[in-house]
Amino acid sequence: MRKQKKHTSLLIGLILLGMNAFSQDPDFHIYLCFGQSNMEGAGAIETVDKTVDPRFKVMEAVDCSNLGRTKGKWYTAVPPLTRCYSGLSPVDYFGRTMIANLPTSVKVGVINVSVGGCKIELFDKVNYQTYVSTITADWLKNIIAEYSGNPYARLVEMAKLAQKDGVIKGILLHQGESNTGDSQWPTKVKGVYNNLITDLALDPTKVPLLAGEVVHADQGGVCASMNTIIAKLPQSLPNSYVISSSKCTDQADNLHFNSAGYREIGKRYANKMLSLMGIIPTGIPEILSAVSDGFRLEQNYPNPFNGKTNISFEIPSAEHVSLKVYNILGKEMAELAGREYSQGVHSIEFDPGNLKGGIYFCWLKAGRFSASQKMVIQD
């Protein structure tokens, strides 16, 4: 009997040890990153970029013998963070900025699966092979091959491993140059997002998507016209936010940011994520997705709220303004404005009436500008 008890105790101990080995750490915040060349990283990695807080981690998505890294393992996030020979990307300074503003008990981990030159169709879970069959460029085929021919599946594979260690808090996207002029891009991005949410059993109310603009017109961006389509993403996917690339410097090709531009837009991704967490960044200019070229949508105040709240916006010239409230599923719940407003700052009072407590989004459209802010109604 004593021997049996000893074996039982040993078995229980092994089970508990196994459970502990795969327990999630709520203070390990994980972000999934995907897209094309600008998310992949085309910036020169300089000396200043090589000193990294060990609280900022990257899970390698491919085997990189030159870096001493193995697929599926965590490492201190010294660039490159995508593949073995990629460059500086927005992810680098997203993670550094997050770490600089979060409690010292919190770690940040990133997984970056990006393919230069690809269309968003490459991340279509169901139809990606149809798109891949049209690719003729060997260099693009070779990049896709590094992800065993299916970058979306690799991202999910790595994310499931990461979920054993921490909690997925958000998704970062930078893609659009290869889809320039594609009015269906927001709907296609929504499809990828929904598949990730389903495949990883995530709560969409807790996992926002942050999408960056391509190189801006103020830098002579070759694909800058795509930013008007990217701006419409929150209309298709309310839990998404567009990160402005205005004044983010670029390279001579006017397609890729330079190192300084990557650092800046990376900080902007982090600023937005921190603001969604209710954290005001310190030591970093706050440039949110709801600001662009004189247009601005302010965060409603108060927020959260259980009575009335005020929503302010600014427009640089007279424009027809649409301001609507959507629930987390994208259903329109209220129209607050639908007429022409004069140049300047305007404020609209919103009374939620009989709306249930939860997360909602106010979405502003004025001319070519659109933006959204998350609102929380308390019961």
The predicted pLDDT at position 298 comes to 86
Distance CA 61, CA 112 (A): 7
Q: pLDDT tens digits for 131-172? A: 999 999 999 999 999 999 999 999 999 999 999 999 999 999
Would you kindly state where each structural domain of the chain is located, as residue ranges?
23-289, 295-377
Residue in the block written with tokens 């968003």: 120
Which one from 256, 259, 275, 289 is the annotated catalytic residue?
256
Label residues 148-187 b or e (16+ Cβ within 10 Å = b). Answer: eebbbbbbbbbbeebbebbbbbbbbbbbbbbbeebeebbe
The predicted pLDDT at position 338 comes to 94
| CA neighbor of 182 nearest in space, from 111, 100, 261, 121 | 121
Share of the chain above pLDDT 70, in %: 90
**Residue 299 — pLDDT band, cuts 50, 70, 90?**
confident
- Of 139 and 283, the structure prediction assigns the larger pLDDT to 139
The predicted pLDDT at position 296 comes to 85
Are 260 and 243 within 8 A, CB to CB?
no
C-alpha of 171 from chain center: 4
In this model, does residue 93 exceed pLDDT 60? yes
Average of per-residue pLDDT across 66-93: 98
The predicted pLDDT at position 29 comes to 98
**Residue 4 — pLDDT band, cuts 50, 70, 90?**
low
Q: pLDDT tens digits for 182-211? A: 999 999 999 999 999 999 999 999 999 999
Global pTM reads: 0.73
Which one from 138, 203, 253, 379 is the annotated catalytic residue?
253
Amino acid at 190: K
| Assigned token pair, 217 | 């017109």
Query: What average pLDDT does the structure give for the chain?
Result: 90
Which one from 29, 37, 244, 372 is the annotated catalytic residue?
37
Please confirm, yes or no, whether 37 is among the known catalytic residues.
yes
Note the CATH number of domain 295-377. 2.60.40.1930
Q: pLDDT tens digits for 320-341? A: 999 999 887 678 899 999 999 9
Residue 325 CB: number of other CB atoms within 10 A? 22
Please confirm, yes or no, whether 256 is among the known catalytic residues.
yes
Three-state DSSP class for residue 39: helix
Please confirm, yes or no, whether 253 is among the known catalytic residues.
yes
**302 upstream amide cis, omega within 30 of 0:** yes
| CA neighbor of 300 nearest in space, from 325, 271, 274 | 325
Amino acid at 295: F
Distance CA 210, CA 363 (A): 15
Distance CA 319, CA 174 (A): 29
Distance CA 127, CA 354 (A): 42
Average of per-residue pLDDT across 42-70: 96
- Of 282 and 98, the structure prediction assigns the larger pLDDT to 98
Q: pLDDT tens digits for 99-116? A: 999 999 999 999 999 999
In this model, does residue 235 exceed pLDDT 90? yes
Tell me if domain 23-289 and domain 295-377 are identical in fold.
no
The predicted pLDDT at position 244 comes to 94
User: How would you class 118 by CB atoms within 10 Å of its CB: exposed for 0-12, middle for 13-18, buried for 19 or more?
Assistant: buried
The predicted pLDDT at position 14 comes to 44
Amino acid at 309: T
What kind of fold does domain 23-289 have according to CATH?
Answer: Rossmann fold (3.40.50)
**Residue 289 — pLDDT band, cuts 50, 70, 90?**
very low
